[in-house]
Chains A and B, each alone.
Chain A
Amino acid sequence: MRTELPSSSEVVVVGAGVVGAFTAYRLAQLGHRVVVIDRKEPGLEASGLNAGSLAVQNKPLALVHLAVEGALQWERFETDSGRTTHYHRTGGLRVAHDDAGVARLQAAHRDHTALGLDIELIEGDEARRRCPALGVDVLAATWSPYDGHNDALTATQSIIHAARDAGARLVTRCTVEAIETSATHVDVRTDRGVARADTVIVAAGLWSRRLCVNLGVDLPLRVRNNQMMVTAPAPPTLDVLITHASGRLTLKQVTAGSILIGGGWPGDGDVVANTKRPNVASMVGNAQLAARIVPSLGKLAVIRSWAGFDGRTGDELPLIGPLPEAPGVWVCTSCYGTYTLGPALADGLARWIHDGVRPSLLRGFAPGEREVGDRPAFVRSS
């Protein structure tokens, strides 16, 4: 069963990941006629392949307010839409097991406090009191009440359902071949015909770069390949989100009892063929850190592991806003912690397009507004 591609609409969103789906959801709620196009199905790439961490305290300082807003949007989505993403605002402990890590926690504690955010710096014993599974190597931790997690595997699908409830249309298995601008409209050329729109939003993760090439825009996105592992169901072990001062570990226990182990360890893969698989050395490194922080993980079995592609600028901040070179075309790229920030980026983008005024949270992140570092070699991907 294939949905036909509407020949014209107000807004076409390219990419049915968290950002694209949520932007469509908000724009549809604001009364716009929106079509979401995806090459495959919703949430099959980075949006569905991450570990579902929704943490605030482990983000770069420039993104902390967006992360708080992202967590709020994720939370509000469930009450607004009546659909679940299995969101749990558990609070989170970001732990350190060496002096360098403790220094990082102290700096983050100072910076977050200065921004007016709740954050608590505690000693190892207090961290173990709050989360008895933590091992003796944990020297200190910061506690954030904002941290939590949801189910990345199904969340994008829920947002798409909500977007359709609000009137947006979804066209799957439709590949965008080129985006062409003119004085009056934008044409999105696909393998299933042309969709004409006033506004086109490119939110295709790593693949946004290729989609903008024929507009004369080379988005400086670097390829990221992150892998995850999940264990067999375990007895209740963790009721908070665990992150690490180094940024190399996330741990959470999900409803089914499994523990998800992540932390941005690099997987293997081939961008051109879009194949990705976990790297064994990364599995070992990730497992070593996980078992050092939560020793009882050692006796659990890993039943599944996977990797996913993401594309970010060198400074790992988002590029979000209209493309100066292409009237009517807007982009929103991935960044550090896109999954947490995604609904905040999307909500801001929708309100920006609707009101014509940029929300203050998105200030400084538009294409052309900052130097984002060198342009990585282009990898032609299918």
Chain B
Amino acid sequence: MKRHPTILCRCEDIDDAAALAAWDRGARTARDLKLRTRIGMGACQGRTCSAAIPGVLRRPDVERLSTRPPVRPVRIDHILDHGDEAT
């Protein structure tokens, strides 16, 4: 039976096969995977896919991707609107 890939990172459209292939080529940390595949570099910054990575790889010891601010994408003109609050 043909196996259909499962989308792992929706933002960057990376499936489990791509993550497994990157692991086979020598990735050993979540950050390696990110650099090789762009997994976790899209709008959600890995907040959706990060938890699924150890399961897909069957490597429970792989740490979560580090997350960076902002928590959600923020439009630049909204950042400008908040200038008074920040300073």
Contact = CB atoms under 8 A, between A and B. Distances in A.
B9 to A, nearest CB: 13
Interface in B11-58: 28-29, 31, 35, 38, 41-43, 45
A304 B45 contact: yes
Interface of B: 28-29, 31, 35, 38, 41-43, 45, 68-70, 73-77, 79-80, 82-83, 86-87
17 contacts: A1-B28, A256-B38, A277-B69, A280-B86, A283-B86, A284-B80, A288-B80, A290-B76, A297-B76, A298-B80, A299-B75, A300-B75, A301-B76, A302-B73, A302-B74, A303-B45, A306-B68
A232 interface: yes
Contact of B77 (A157, A278, A299): A299
A299 B45 CA distance: 19
Contacts of B87: 281, 284
A133 interface: no
Nearest to B81: A284
Given A153-B35, A306-B68, A301 B73 contact: yes
Nearest to B73: A301
Contacts of B68: 304-306
Contacts of A297: 76
B75 to A, nearest CB: 5
A334 to B, nearest CB: 23
A154 B37 CA distance: 12
Given A297-B76, A302-B79, A157 B45 contact: no
A103 interface: no
B interface secondary structure, majority: loop
B67 to A, nearest CB: 9
Contacts of A246: none
Interface residues of A, number: 28
A231 interface: yes
Interface in A231-277: 231-232, 256, 277
B66 to A, nearest CB: 9
Nearest to A231: B76
B46 to A, nearest CB: 10
A200 B38 CA distance: 36
